[in-house]
Structure 1
Amino acid sequence: MFTFRHILAAGLVACVMLPAAAMAQTKANQLFGARDTPSRQQPQPIGGYSRGCAAGNVQLPESGPTWQAMRLSRNRNWGQPVTIEFIRDLSAYAATAGWKGLYVGDISQPRGGPMTSGHASHQTGLDVDIWMRPATNLGLSRREREDISSIDVRAKSQKTVNRNWTPSHAAILQRAAMDPRVDRIFVTPPVKVELCRTAKRSDRDWLRKIRPYYGHNYHFHVRLKCPPGAKGCQVQTPSVKELSKGGDGCDASLTWWVTDMLNPPKTARPAKPAPHKRHPRDYTMADLPQQCGAVLSSR
């Protein structure tokens, strides 16, 4: 039975036979999406989170003592060793915080790079989506992992969390944010509001890593820092510290997310449309770091 990856793989073989000029015009997401195994290279995140690739990714086992990888048909349970180690550690903590562990969503493709659908980031093996749904059954079949869905923790007003939110969610997010390997965590704005409301006054530095962003009401997105010695990895700027100006991020900028973002103030003149930005799904290999060519061609 042919799958979408088989079709992509056939397309990759055809691309290799094309002249270099034609190969250069092939979209990078088709090339990376066709690779179902990692490169045989030393682990190395290359480029930026939304414009890069990953050498030497390793696979998160489909199931572990405190986690299950979801949506296995996507083949996106690959990441840099530091990412896999982080998932193991956080899931073990989750098992002490009221859940049985974690349901893990997309990490990266076997060789990273732009994806054929979904994310703009997750290209260097340093991003991971973790479901808001508490893991209560770690014996889900492959079929069940395709059919089950996560839960929404955002109220219909989009300004507060709903009854699905629990103290365990807060504890797991705090634990993740306090991990020195973590650069930032994207959550739906109401989650940030709730954490700002309930966090202890004496211990709030970790909150600056919790960043409100569109969506993320069914999962939270953890982004790790470039690991030591990863010279080809591009550090994200501005830093979280610069974004929150040394504080906890529970300031006017957070208020904007739950007021003006939902109900933009009317202006006398219509705003100029934002210039069109190319999506990573439109990138060719020429848009990625040069080293990504070697990652793609490595056997």
Structure 2
Amino acid sequence: MLRKIATGLMLVCISQTAMATPWEKVKQPSSGDSSSIGSYANGCLAGGENLPLQGDGYQVIRSERGRYFGHSEMIVFLQQLMKQSQQLKIGNVLVGDIAMPRGGRFSSGHASHQTGLDADIWLRIPEKPLSQQELKTVSALPMVDVKNYQIIEKNWTSKQAQLIQLAASDDRVARIFVHPVIKQQLCKTEWKQRDWLSKVRPWFGHYYHFHVRLNCPEGSTTCEPQTPPPAGDGCGTELASWSPTYKAPVTTKTVTDVKPKPKPKKVLPPMCNIVLKS
């Protein structure tokens, strides 16, 4: 029986290794200055830097996955954001996935996070740093009752709202993705300034964390920029359209025999092959 169990575990390990992308097998960043290459969902990272696993106002969770590397600008941004949150007494922030040592594609879990300019920040905000044992066992804290499409009042506080506002107000930030219900909650809040809300974009799945995406670094010639968000705060019809009870206006459809064109297969920028093999 023990031999069968051991054989089964070995097969699982072999299977997971075989499924891993070449990028997941690389454990160290390439040398040189940081450079984001390609697009957020089809690119790589040269000269990646690691975020220290613990610093002023934050801790990295699930560090064993080795996804705490990013463009130098992302590392600086996160450290500054967490220091500000500590000064505002928001709490100890938990940082999730940024990117792998050289960015690139994941076998599962993320479509983006490939250029070191994306980072996940949990919405569970402990009052003080977690112990090493707590870091291994801490679980996500959902802010949204997904089934009933409503905020979980006992979990959502002004601290979560303040942390998102703090991040979105930074000029380096291009987008912040949150669950539509969280965006709805932010829209209902009275803010002295609401310009930053345009960057906060609804996206399903982000009910226990928010996803920060930075603009391409100034002067970068290898990074594909993010399209600017639409005008306005995004709190009207666009947000309402995400609701499961939303009924779109009836329009007259024209029937044609034209088949939709298949999406072309993504091809990584040639420079990424150099980064991977260097």
TM-score under structure 2 normalisation? Answer: 0.85
Partner of 2:224: 234
Q: Partners in 1 of 2:32 and 2:124 — Cα distance?
A: 35
**Does the CA contact (< 8 Å) of 1:36 and 1:110 recur in 2?**
yes
Q: Percent same amino acid among aligned pairs?
A: 40
The residue that corresponds to 1:290 in the other structure is 270
- C-alpha distance in 2 between matches for 1:257 and 1:138: 36
- State which of 225, 232, 254 in structure 2 corresponds to 1:247: 232
Pair 1:37-2:28 in alignment? yes
Q: 1:257 aligns with which of 242, 261, 265?
A: 242
2:129 to 124, 133, 138: 138
Q: How does 1:21-60 map to 2 (within 5 A)?
A: 30-60=21-51
Cα 1:254–1:274 change in 2 (3 A) is: farther
Q: Distance in 2 between matches of 1:132 and 1:171?
A: 11
Name the SS of the counterpart of 1:257 in structure 2.
Answer: coil
1:125-204 aligned at under 5 Å gives the runs 125-141=116-132, 143-155=133-145, 156-200=147-191, 202-204=192-194
Residue 242 of structure 2 aligns to a residue whose secondary structure is helix
* AA matched with 2:273: G
Pairwise CA distance, 1:277: 6.0
Question: Which ranges of structure 1 fall in alignment gaps of 5 or more residues?
Answer: 12-26
Any gaps of 5 or more consecutive residues in structure 2?
1-9, 254-258
- How far residue 93 of structure 1 moved from its aligned partner, in angstroms, is 1.9
* Contact 1:67-1:138 within 8 A present in 2 as well: yes
Shift of 1:145: 2.4
Pick from 88, 104, 126 the counterpart of residue 113 of structure 1: 104
Q: Distance in 2 between matches of 1:266 and 1:120?
A: 33
8 Å CA contact retained: 2:90, 2:163:
no
1:124 aligned to 2:118? no
Matched residues in 2 for 1:55 and 1:255: separation? 40
Aligned equivalent of 1:91: 82
**C-alpha distance in 2, partners of 1:105/1:275?**
36
Q: Specify the alignment match of 2:199 in structure 1.
A: 209
Task: Give SS of 1:95's match.
Answer: helix
Per-residue deviation, 1:265: 9.8
CA contact (8 A) 1:159 1:258 kept: no
Per-residue CA deviation, residues 28-79 of structure 1 (Å, 9 max, x unaligned), is x611110000001221000000000000110001111211111011100000
Mapped contact 1:160–1:193 kept (Cα < 8 A):
no
Once structures 1 and 2 are overlaid, which stretch shifts more, 185-194 or 89-98?
A: 89-98
Q: For residues 35 and 219 of structure 1, what CA distance do their matches in structure 2 show?
A: 27
State the one-letter code of the partner of 1:167: S
Structure 2 CA distance, aligned partners of 1:249 and 1:132?
Answer: 21
Contact 2:36/2:44 (CA < 8 Å) preserved in 1? yes
Take 2:29 and 2:73, find their aligned partners in 1: how far apart are those partners?
16
Cα distance in 2 for residues equivalent to 1:274 and 1:138: 52
Greater RCO (Cα-Cα under 8 Å, separation 6 or more) = 1
Counterpart for residue 94 of structure 2: 103
Native 8 Å contact 1:133 1:151 kept in 2 = yes
Residue 67 of structure 2 corresponds to 76
- Aligned counterpart for 1:64 among listed residues 13, 36, 55: 55
Question: Secondary structure of the residue that 1:107 maps to in structure 2?
Answer: coil
Partner of 1:18: none
How far apart, in 1, do the equivalents of 2:48 and 2:14 lie? 23
